[in-house]
Amino acid sequence: MSYCLNPSCPKPVNHPKSKLCQACGAKLLLHGRYHLVKGLGKGGFGATFLAADLALPGRPLCVIKQLRPNTDNPNFLSMARELFEREARTLGRIGNHPKIPRLLDYFEDRNQFYLIQEFVEGNNLQQEVKKIGVLNEAKARQVLKELLVILRDIHAQKVIHRDIKPANIIRREIDDQLVLIDFGVVKNQVDNISAAGSNQTAFTAFAVGTPGFAPPEQLAMRPVYASDVYALGVTCMYLMTGKAPKNMDCDPITGDIDWFKYVDVSDSFAEILTKMLEVAVKSRYKSAEEVLQVLDLENHVDSLSNSMLSFPTANEPPSTLANRSRMAYSRRDTTSSSKGDIRMSRQTGRMAYTSRYSRNAAQTSASSASFSQAAKNPPKPAKISAEEVLKAYSSGRKDFGLKDMTMQDLQKADLSESKFHDSKLIRVNFQGADLNKTSFTSCDMRQAMLRNADLTRALFNAANLEDVDLRGANLSYVNFRDTKLKGANLCGANLSNTNLTKKQLEEVKTNWMTIMPSGKRGFW
C-alpha cells in the first residue's frame, strides 16, 4: 500500500500504485524517492513511517520520522526548524555507532520536517518479553552491560537520550545485537532553549520521556546523564518482571518502586539496580561508565573468590562443590575469629615462612625431572561431553582448560568468562552462545560454529580459528594476537575495537555488513 503524509488526511491508506492520495489529493511519493509503506507510530510532535527508497538498487527499507508542528506561528516554526537541524547534526555525529541507526538524510518538504534513518529489522525488548517471557538475572546482566556501553558512548558525545525503555531497544535480527533507537526530534536540545529564557513553552509539554521510566529531574525538564541510568534501571526491572512501573507498588514517602517482591535476584545485583533507581540524583550512579566499573569490579571479585576454591571435576556432583565451599568458608571463619593468630608476631611469621620455603625448595628439587619430562611430552586433552561442561558450569566451575570437546553441541549455552585454554574444540557448535570474556588461548578451534555468538572481550591468543564460522558474532574488543584465521567467515560480525591486523583480514571473509576494527561498516 501507499501511505499519505498529510497530517489531516482522513484516510491515509492508498493503493500501492497510486501517485496521489485518493482522500486529500496530496502527493504520495516523498522527496521524489521515498514510497511510504505503512505507519509505525505517532507521538509528541511527530509520526514515524516505514518506506522504500526507490532511488537505490533493491529499494531498501528505511524509517522516516516526520516532525509535525501543529501551528502557523512563524516563531514556533523557526524554533522547530532550528531544533530539527540541531537534532539532525546530533544524529549525524552519533549515527556512526554500530548500535545506533544511521542518519541517511534530512530535509524540509511542504512545511514538514523529515529525518530518514536506517531501518533496523527485529523485535524490541518489550515485544520479546511479551512473546518469550521475562529474563533471568544472567540475561538481564548481559542486556544491562550491552546497553551501558551504548549509553557511555553517546554520553561521551554530550547527548542524553531521555527515552530509554524496552520499546526503544531493538534486538537486531541479523546479528542478535541490541540497537538503541528513537533519538526524537525535540528530545536533545529543548533544555537549552528553555534555559535561554524563551517564552515558547509549547515544547515543555513534550520531550520529557515516558512516564514511569523518566526520573523526577527529567520530568522537571532538568535531565542529566544519570537520568538515562535511571531509565535503564527501570528497563532492567521490566525485563525481569514483565511489569511496567505503573503496575507496581511504590513507597508513598520515598517514591521508591517496590520491585523486589516480583523477582528473585542476588543481593549484589539488587544493590546495583537499587542505586540506579535512586529517586535523588545525588544518590544515583552519575554515569553509565560508573555502573560498568561496578559490574566489572563485581566480576573480578567473583573470579577471585572462585580461584580460592578447589573446583570439582566434570563428573563430580554439585554437592561436592557445596561441601568444599562450606569447608573453605569454615576455615576462613575459624582463622578470622582467632585474634591471637591475627596478632601473630612478625618473628613467628618469618619462622613459618622459612619453614615453608625449606619444604618447597626440597619439593622443587625433587620434581624438577618431572617438569622436564612433561615439557617434552605435554599431556593430551581429556575428553569431556557437552552435558558435563554445562553441569560443571552450573555448579560454579569455569576452568575447562586442556579438554577435548570435539564436535560437541553447546549452542546457545551460557559459558561467559570461562577458560578453555589449550583445549581441542574442533567443529564444536557454539552458535548463539554467551562466551563473553571467555579465554580460548592456544585452542584448536578449526571449523567450529560460532555464528551469532557473543564473544565480547574474548581472548584468542595463539588459537587456531581456520575455517571457523563467525557470521554475525559480536567480537568487539576481542584479542586476536597471533591467531590463525585463514578461511574464517566474518560476514556481518562486529570487529570494532579488536586488534586484527590487515594481514589477518586479508585471510578471512567479510562483507558490507561486517563492522571493521575502525568501527566503519565494510571498510578498514
Residue corresponding to grid cell 562443590? 321
Helix axes 288-307, 137-156, angle to 10 degrees: 140
What phi-psi label fits residue 204: left (phi over 0), alpha (psi between -120 and 50 degrees) or beta?
Answer: alpha
CB 29 within 8 A of CB 5: no
Alpha carbon distance 453, 471 (integer Å): 9
Identify the active-site residue in 53, 163, 414, 454: 163
The neighbour count for residue 58, using CB atoms within 10 Å, is 7
Concatenating the DSSP letter of every residue in 24-35 gives T--B-EETTTEE
CA distance to 237, 294, 511, per residue, from 272 (Å): 12, 8, 39
The three cell numbers locating residue 226: 544519570
Q: Is 163 a catalytic residue?
A: yes
* CA angle 62–65–67, rounded 5-degree value: 160
Helices of type H across 216-345: 216-219, 225-241, 267-276, 288-307, 318-337, 339-342
Report whether 113 contacts 6 (CB < 8 A).
no
Q: Which residue(s) pair with 494 in the sheet?
A: 474, 515
Length of the chain: 524
Is 426 buried (19+), middle (13-18) or exposed (0-12) by CB count in 10 A? middle
DSSP 3-state assignment of 11?
coil
In Å, what is the CA distance from 355 to each residue of 57, 359, 401, 424? Answer: 79, 6, 33, 41
Chain Cα centroid distance, residue 177: 7
Q: Which residues are catalytic?
A: 163
